[in-house]
Amino acid sequence: MLTGKSFIGNSRGTGTAVSGSAINPANGEKLSPETIAATDAEVRYALELADSAFHAYRKKSGSEKAVFLRTIAANIEALIDDIAARGPLETGLPEARMRGESGRTMGQLRLFADLVEEGSWVDARIETADADRAPIPKVDLRSMLTGLGPVGVFCASNFPLAYSVAGGDTASALAAGCPVVVVAHSSHPGLAEIVAGAIQSAAQETGMPEGVFSLLFGGGRTIGKSVVTAPEIKAIGFTGSYAGGRALMDLAAARPEPIPVYAEMSAINPVAIFPSALKNDSESLATAASGSLTMGVGQFCTNPGVFFIPATGEGAEQFTETFTKLTSEVAGATMLNAGICSAYANATTSIQAQPNVETLLDVTTDDFGVGAPSIFRTTATEFINNAALTEEMFGPATLLVTYQNTEELLALAESIDGQLTTSIHAQPEDDISDIVEIFDRKSGRVIFNQFPTGVEVCSSMVHGGPFPSTSDGRSTSVGTMAIFRYTRAVSYQNFPQQNLPVELQDANPLNIKRMLDDKPE
């Protein structure tokens, strides 16, 4: 039974002010229940609970946190039929996507559980004392990573599970020992409530301190500003638009105590195609490219928004023709919400209106909430000299940019801003070293002979990139490295053994990997 009320620690909100309701993007129908905005007092109490919980939660062992994370996953699994039923109504995404994304969400939680249970992630370093060292005696010094404090998490619109209430930001923050205060997304409050209930129950079942998790409904800007500016909050996780991410960055920087914002914002994810790739098999390449572009109505942060392709040569025209034909056969589909659908229409209209841009495919539709594929084409010179052509079209649209020679291709690569991904299609014998050197400066993930859609959740994944794709290109929002966003290092000098964290004690009771006097122990 959904109520539309916030989760304040172990309790539920008691306010009465309606903040809105979910809208079925397929038909505009308002869904029940209406969401009730958290009151100012409830927001303040959630923040105070999170601050109080941090002092107890940070002392929980890796094994205890692992049990908590696995219990959240198990509780979500028990509710998967409810998720599969509610999700399509709120997002327009199919039931299969709901079940698949639930699996990814549970997988992330269990991956972090394994990480903290094993324990080596804390990067323990021990330098033993040497009283006889000359000219200055060496002190005993030991360091490790520890949680920053309570984290504010903003849910994403395009991943209502994997990047939302129990998504990667929440999983990595909880793994690091940080309580989480989640700001729900207005597009899918029912899903948020289902998952929040799973987390709240898990916290109580495993004896976690009250306030380790809260979820707030209400006006995103009002509630969001309260969370970002609260002194209890020590970091922010966000996935969404550039404008939204930048606003949070500015708020966080203006605080008396500035805090880090880990915002994933926008990217066009360029795909560079070498002549040899087209010569080898342009048809198969076009087929894969079309599938990547139109998957999920193009509503992925790694959607290929730009292709750098040879202007002439064997397979060049065939690639364009096949790519356009196959994409034209993909029917438009319901987008996540009216705002995204409108923004997509505006973005494609803007690109189409730019000088020297040719429209190869424009499947216009008046169907409510539907986004249909579009393909545009321009030259390298136009792309490099017109910043408007680098704007993200969040949906199933892309821009083909033709280049005349290798020099133009490298100039195109240099012209792009920071990206989540860059891709190269070539033959193994091609010399791609120059463009790789550029792309690995420009993106968090460089891909060879594959397409960027699809983000593997594992220890080696980097889902991040230089600004403006993210606010901090040193981090990732997917994979176990995400835990480091919500940590800081602490050194202990000349401490008695019994007062050290167990990770730094000589006996190494957890048997974790450590550095001892600059060498692996």
* Best CA proximity match to 9, nearest among 49, 56, 60: 49
User: What is the Cα–Cα distance from 245 to 355, expressed in whole angstroms?
Assistant: 30
Q: Does residue 381 share a domain with residue 299?
A: yes
What beta strand segments (E) does 175-234 contain?
180-183, 213-216
Cis, bond preceding 33 (omega within 30 deg of 0) = yes
Q: Which of 101, 210, 232, 264 is catalytic?
A: 264
**How far apart, in whole angstroms, are the C-alpha atoms of residue 456 and residue 453?**
10
Average pLDDT over residues 37-47: 97
Cα torsion 39, 165, 341, 352 to 10°: value is 120
Please give the model's pTM, rounded to 2 decimal places: 0.96
Looking at the fold, whether 215 and 308 belong to one and the same domain comes out as no
Beta bridge partners of 271: 307, 423
Q: Which domain, by its residues, includes 184? A: 45-127+143-265+475-485
For the cut 80, the answer to whether the pLDDT of residue 88 exceeds it is yes
Clarify whether 264 is annotated catalytic. Answer: yes
Residues 185 and 323 in one domain: no
Note the pLDDT of residue 404.
Answer: 97
pLDDT band at 221 (very low <50, low <70, confident <90, very high): confident
**Is the confidence at residue 365, as pLDDT, over 90?**
no
CA 52 to chain centre: 28
Pairing, β 7-8 against β 11-12: antiparallel
Cβ atoms of 23 and 29 closer than 8 Å: yes
Q: Which pLDDT does position 367 carry in this prediction? A: 81
* Shared domain check, 172 and 79: yes
Q: Is residue 15 part of a domain?
A: no
- The domain that contains 378 carries what CATH number? 3.40.309.10
407 part of a folded domain: yes
| Mean pLDDT estimate for the chain | 96
Q: Are residues 80 and 211 in the same domain?
A: yes
Encoding tokens for residue 520? 């692996």
- Note the helical H segments in 254-379: 275-294, 316-328, 338-352
* Domain identity same for 276 and 259: no
* Active-site residue, from 301, 341, 392, 408: 301
Instruction: Answer yes or no: do 54 and 164 share one domain.
Output: yes
pLDDT higher than threshold 80 for residue 407: yes
Q: For the chain, how long is the longest CA-to-CA vector?
A: 82
Query: Could you tell me if 395 and 429 lie in one domain?
Result: yes
> What percentage of the chain exceeds 70 in pLDDT?
100
Q: Per the domain annotation, does 179 fall within a domain?
A: yes
On whether both 58 and 190 belong to a single domain, the answer is yes
pLDDT-based confidence at residue 330 (cuts at 50, 70, 90): very high
Q: Is residue 175 part of a domain?
A: yes
- pLDDT of 78: 98
pLDDT for the residue 366: 74
Q: Is there a single domain that holds both residue 153 and residue 180?
A: yes
Q: Does residue 220 carry a pLDDT above 70?
A: no
Q: Is 227 part of a structural domain of the chain? A: yes
Output the CA–CA distances (angstroms, integers) from residue 407 to 34, 162, 427, 446, in the order listed: 57, 40, 18, 20
Q: What is the pLDDT of residues 102-123, one digit of tens each?
A: 999 999 999 999 999 999 999 9
pLDDT tens by residue, 428-446: 999 999 999 999 999 999 9
Question: Would 376 be classed as within a structural domain?
Answer: yes
Question: What mean pLDDT do residues 263-285 have?
Answer: 96
Half-sphere exposure of 253 (CA within 13 A, CB side): 8
Strand partners, 370: 334
Among the listed ranges 63-67, 210-214, 308-312, 365-369, which one has the minimum average pLDDT value?
365-369
**What CATH number does residue 51 fall under?**
3.40.605.10
Q: What CA–CA distance (Å, rounded) separates 65 from 104?
A: 19
Domain count, the chain: 2
Question: How many beta carbons lie within 10 A of that of residue 87, not counting itself?
Answer: 24
Helix locations, 230-315, DSSP H: 242-253, 275-294
Name the pairing type of β-strands 141-147 and 125-127. antiparallel
Examine residue 507 and state whether it is found in any structural domain, yes or no. no
Question: Are 323 and 192 part of one and the same domain?
Answer: no
Strand-pair partners of 238: 154, 263
Identify whether residues 239 and 189 lie together within a single domain: yes
Look at residue 364 and tell me whether its pLDDT is greater than 90.
no
* 520 inside domain: no
